Amino acid sequence: MIHKFKIENTARGDVGGRVSGSAQLDIIPQIKNRFLFRASTDGKETDGRTPSSIRLPGQALVILLVFVATATIITAGAVTVTLINARSTGKLAQGEEALQVTEAGAENEILKLLRNPAYNGASISEATLTVGNGSAAVTLVGPLPNITITSTGSVGSFTRKVQVKGTFSNDKFIPDPLTFWQEIN
């Protein structure tokens, strides 16, 4: 069907390509039908659908694969971080337990010293003290009145060492105020 357009004068008196209202209503559906949207569907028309609503074969599978791959990567990262944190926490706990065993060895040696007033200042290497999962090797060194107690504690593969300095006189152990209790390498 061919439509003829009537050229009319506009309100200002110049010539324009205006179409009457009834002709406009009749032309719009024909223009729509003539210019259907086409996408890469092998030349098949889309029956009036917009390009955003066109679904290509396999498109859902590709989207699914992208989501599955993303979820797998995120899950693998979370599991890796969790395992690393668990190992670090275990090592930290062993290190702290080794320090506690070391301090227990030093405290035990101070108690022995206070209970034995006949100590003459000679070096004493005590038998290994077992505490929990670890053990502490303690050494007491004089000469009187200055005493140095060195305790080395170990739990698993962790070893910590503490040195205690003080003065032993009149059956009392008086700690050195500056270097009384310190961890050494």
What is the pLDDT of the chain when averaged over all its residues? 78
pLDDT tens, position by position, 147-173: 899 999 999 899 999 999 998 888 788
Query: Given pLDDT bands bounded at 50, 70 and 90, which one contains residue 37?
Result: very low
Sequence letter at residue 159:
T
Where are any strands of DSSP class E within the chain? 8-9, 15-16, 124-125, 129-131, 134-141, 146-155, 158-169, 172-175, 181-184
- CA-to-CA distance for 137 and 129, rounded, in angstroms? 6
Diameter of the chain by CA atoms?
Answer: 130
Q: pTM of the entire structure? A: 0.56
Q: How confident is the model at residue 41 (pLDDT cuts 50, 70, 90)?
A: low
CB distance 94 to 158 below 8 Å: yes
**Is the CATH number of domain 80-184 3.40.50?**
no
**Distance, CA of 131 to chain centre:** 34
Which residues partner with 141 through β-bridges?
A: 148
Exposure string (b/e) for 108-123, b if CB count within 10 Å is 16 or more? bbbeebeeeeebeeee
User: 175 forms bridges with which residues in the sheet?
Assistant: 166
Q: C-alpha 147: how far from its chain's center?
A: 47
Q: Where are the domains of the chain?
A: 8-53, 80-184
Q: For tokens 């989501």, name the residue.
A: 67
Vertex 133 angle, CA 182 and 83, to 5°:
90
Three-state DSSP class for residue 86: helix
104-141: pLDDT as tens digits: 999 988 888 888 767 766 667 777 889 888 999 998 88
* Rounded distance between C-alpha atoms, residue 173 and residue 98, angstroms: 25
